[in-house]
């Protein structure tokens, strides 16, 4: 749709304003202009093009963040249901249907009309800084992300993905299962990129590097490739989306199992959040983890949502996997709640 709407985005150190248009056509990203991009896990695409883009820090919000109380959050899967899901995935693994699958749950809570995404982004910037921090606020879509994970970057015809698999409070908490899980997903990402890469160009410059983030550590690998001639953003997404690190291996089986076990849509969580500079052939799209989104409800109220999950393998312990989802969510849910950590 065309026209001029109020809206802004702050991603990758760029502040974008002057919203020109919004489209669901990924091919537009191969055209011209600077775009903020959100692709839901379920495939809904929002590409917002802005006329004014400049390197600038996140602006100060007009008022502090007003979030829900800590006791107002509701999980789409409680502990018993989540642990049942872990056991179900282990059953699929035992039957040879899948090697690994990501099981997620969505936390939600009511918010008022004065819950400003910019104020939440400012709060996260202080309390949980992240390499792919983002806020996008356009008509019908408000997303605030503190993602640590690169889904796809692009510099000309060179594309890169940095999948995360393996999480602990410290490096000493990482298990053999975490390393095996990471390697499985790296193989999946190599295969995904290989569908649109020049023959022989796919490489893995870094495997299972330990990265420290606020309150936890991750295992991170890097997969790089050169795009084949004629391959653009629609082809890249068709080959690689949803991201391998938040689905599983083989991806087709994992997607079917996830659909059976998860009662709530993931939305922007586990999708893609980032920017594309079509004029310069550069981009950085994060995996939509550590991500909040605010949406309207049928009765007229508003709700904030946040997703958390864990990768399940044969070596998974149901209780430990639940605690991993708690670890990933605790700091951010505290920051987003009234009376949370400053």
Q: Give me the active site residues, please.
A: 149, 165
Distance of CA 339 to the CA centre of its chain: 26
**H-helix segments, 56-197:** 79-94, 117-127, 176-194
- Tell me which H or E stretch contains 240: helix 233-240
- The answer to whether 330 and 119 have CB atoms below 8 angstroms apart is no
CB 118 within 8 A of CB 7: no
If one counts every other C-beta atom within 10 angstroms of the C-beta of residue 250, the result is 16
Q: Is 279 exposed, middle or buried (0-12, 13-18, 19+ CB in 10 A)?
A: exposed
CB 122 within 8 A of CB 61: yes
> Quick check: 176 and 313 in contact, CB under 8 A?
no
Closest Cα to residue 49, out of 9, 93, 108, 104? 9
Alpha helices (runs of H) in 115-175, residue ranges in sequence order: 117-127
């Amino acid at each position: 749709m065309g026209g001029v709407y109020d809206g802004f985005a702050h991603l990758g150190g760029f502040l974008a304003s002057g919203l020109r248009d919004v489209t669901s056509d990924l091919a537009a990203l191969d055209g011209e202009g600077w775009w903020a991009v959100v692709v839901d896990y379920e495939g809904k695409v929002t590409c917002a093009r802005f006329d004014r883009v400049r390197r600038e820090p996140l602006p100060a919000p007009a008022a502090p963040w007003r979030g829900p109380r800590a006791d107002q959050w509701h999980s789409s899967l409680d502990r018993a249901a989540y642990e049942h899901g872990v056991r179900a995935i282990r059953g699929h693994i035992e039957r040879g249907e899948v090697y690994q699958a990501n099981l997620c749950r969505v936390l939600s809570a009511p918010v008022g009309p004065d819950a400003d995404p910019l104020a939440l982004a400012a709060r996260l910037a202080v309390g949980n800084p992240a390499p792919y921090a983002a806020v996008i606020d356009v008509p019908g879509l408000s997303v605030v992300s503190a993602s640590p994970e690169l889904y796809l970057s692009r510099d000309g015809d060179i594309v890169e993905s940095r999948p995360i698999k393996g999480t602990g409070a410290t490096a000493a908490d990482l298990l053999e299962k975490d390393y095996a899980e990471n390697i499985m997903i790296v193989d999946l990402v190599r295969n995904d990129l290989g569908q649109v890469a020049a023959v022989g160009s796919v490489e893995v410059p870094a495997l299972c590097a330990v990265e420290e983030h606020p309150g936890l550590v991750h295992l991170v690998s890097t997969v790089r490739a050169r795009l084949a001639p004629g391959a653009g953003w629609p082809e890249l997404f068709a080959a690689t989306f949803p991201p391998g690190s938040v689905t599983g291996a083989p991806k087709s089986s994992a997607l079917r199992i996830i659909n059976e076990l998860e009662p709530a849509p993931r939305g922007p969580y586990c999708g893609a959040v980032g920017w594309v500079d079509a004029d310069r052939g550069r981009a950085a799209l994060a995996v939509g983890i550590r991500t909040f989104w605010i949406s309207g409800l049928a009765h007229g109220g508003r709700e904030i949502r946040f997703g958390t999950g864990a990768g399940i393998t044969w070596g998974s312990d149901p209780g430990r996997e639940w605690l991993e989802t708690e670890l990933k969510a605790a700091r951010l849910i505290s920051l987003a709640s009234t009376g949370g950590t400053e």
